[in-house]
Amino acid sequence: MVEAVLSGRDALAVLPTGGGKSLCYQLPALVRQGLVVVISPLVALMEDQVMALQRRGIPAACLHAGLDPARRQLAQEQLRDATLRLLYIAPERLQGEATRQVLEGHARDGRLVALAVDEAHCISAWGHDFRPDYRRLGAIRSLCPGVPVLALSATAAPRVRADIIRLLDLQRPLVQVSSARRHNLQYTMQRRPRDPMPLVLAALTESRGAALIYARTRRSVEAWAERLQGQNVSATPYHAGLDPQTRQQALKLFLEEERPVLVATVAFGMGVDRGDVGLVLHLDLPATPEGYLQESGRAGRDGNPAHCLVLFSPGDRTSLGWAMQASARNGGTMDDQRRLDLAQQQLRRMEAVAEGEMCREQALLLAVGELVDPCGRCDRCVALPKRRDWTPQVETLLTHLADQNGTDIRRLGEHLALHEPGRQDRWTWLARRLVQEELIQESNDGAQRLYLRDSGRRYLDSPWPLDYAA
């Protein structure tokens, strides 16, 4: 991959977290003694990599909205003096005239070694983290003709890879795709109790090295950091709402303390890079299998065993679904609707992984088009739950749905709980399983409205055994 870039060839690298993606663009910058521009959506990752490079004496800088004026001025001076080797920028900065002029000038003078697009899956509507700003990156080809473009991602399914090549206009690229399997990670997914604190504390006690805890919202990050501090755990909050100095201090603590605990939103926690992370804990259901592979991939980058724990609740998908719907209302175009539909599908796939009976790693890797044998390490491989035939309950549920012109999952559970008082959660769980079996269709508008499919009607005409582990 490095040789391809040095020879002036475009390239696409899909390498797992910890697979050496950063070396693919750092080495060419040092070998050629020129500038490599790295485009990344993750501010924390920029800051982390710049700090690590500067500690090694390598001239590196980043430009983003939260940068203090003194550091911005220093970076601009280094650019003018042509002493900078690596410049990390957010994708939206490429729209600024000043940035474009700098790149054009370096390219014209032969000092621009390569353009690296990190998290390249963000350019595709099929990717798990679509960013509209990435769509404009196709213009960098005309901005810097003759300069090789390197696209990098930790997870990219085949159709995402095709999108990356097309939208970035990669010319005869070298494509390298490595397995996303991580043999040192143990996956566990379990229902979140009313108060998950005992489970969180137990996981922290059993883990080694650093711990990274993901929470969905900034408020939740703050609340959990405070609760853990109350349990004598030196937890540090980390999210975009903190001022730059506080964020920098939090990152410094995480990188330098012996056994730090960082509570972060996914957007910021993805930028954290430390080798001995022994625990990655999600307090909510992740939004996509692809995203979760990346997030959990922060664990065990030193090659030693690490634990990836997800604590989830059925309500997580409901709240995530409504959040996606609210976000889509701001757009309203056909593309926005298509992305919403895709996001809802990905969310259902993630829920199927969490509630399903397949090996966790096997199910996650299927999402990115990779077929592997069961891992033998996850909670499903170690102790597969007992299965039983749910045919009578399935017939009851589908019969009720056949009499309705669509009903939301909550009302369905409430009605069917009349047959089994106190077990509304079981009926809603079964409904979600039947969505996965494609006997029921679910709306993509966040309301989780259910409709009977033709396949569901055929089931009622001629039932077959359906064995599940509840």
Tens digits of residue pLDDT in 78-132: 888 888 999 999 888 887 777 788 888 888 888 899 999 998 988 887 666 778 7
Q: Are residues 368 and 284 in the same domain?
A: yes
Average pLDDT over residues 126-140: 78
Q: What is the pLDDT of residues 148-197, one digit of tens each?
A: 999 999 888 888 899 999 999 999 999 999 888 999 999 999 999 999 99
For residues 203 and 349, give the distance between their C-alpha atoms in angstroms, rounded to a whole number.
26
Domain with 448 in it: what CATH number? 1.10.10.10
Q: Note the Cα 94 to chain centre separation in Å.
A: 24
Number of structural domains found in the chain: 3
CATH number at residue 295: 3.40.50.300
Instruction: Choose one of 177, 211, 238: the last residue of a domain.
Output: 177
Range of the domain at 7: 2-177
- Total-model pTM: 0.81
Structure confidence by residue, pLDDT tens digits, 233-252? 999 999 988 888 898 899 88
Both 344 and 421 in a single domain?
no
268 and 166 in a single domain? The answer is no
Average per-residue pLDDT in the chain?
88
pLDDT at 328 over 80: no
Beta bridge partners of 467: 389
Choosing from 177, 202, 217, the residue where a domain stops is: 177
Q: Decide if pLDDT at 146 tops 70.
A: yes
**Same-domain check for residues 319 and 394:** no
Residues in the chain: 470
CB-CB contact of 459 with 439 (8 Å): yes
d(CA 381, CA 319): 30
For tokens 């954290």, name the residue. Answer: 272
* CB-CB contact of 360 with 379 (8 Å): yes
User: Does one domain contain both 152 and 192?
Assistant: no
Assess whether 398 and 292 both reside in one domain.
no
CA–CA distance, 407 with 442 (Å, rounded to integer): 10
Q: Within this chain, do residues 27 and 152 fall inside the same structural domain, yes or no?
A: yes
Phi/psi region, residue 368 (left: phi>0; alpha: psi -120 to 50; beta: rest), is alpha
**Beta-sheet pairing, 449-452 with 407-408:** antiparallel
Q: Is 443 exposed, middle or buried (0-12, 13-18, 19+ CB in 10 A)?
A: middle
Single residue among 345, 363, 382 that ends a domain in this structure: 382
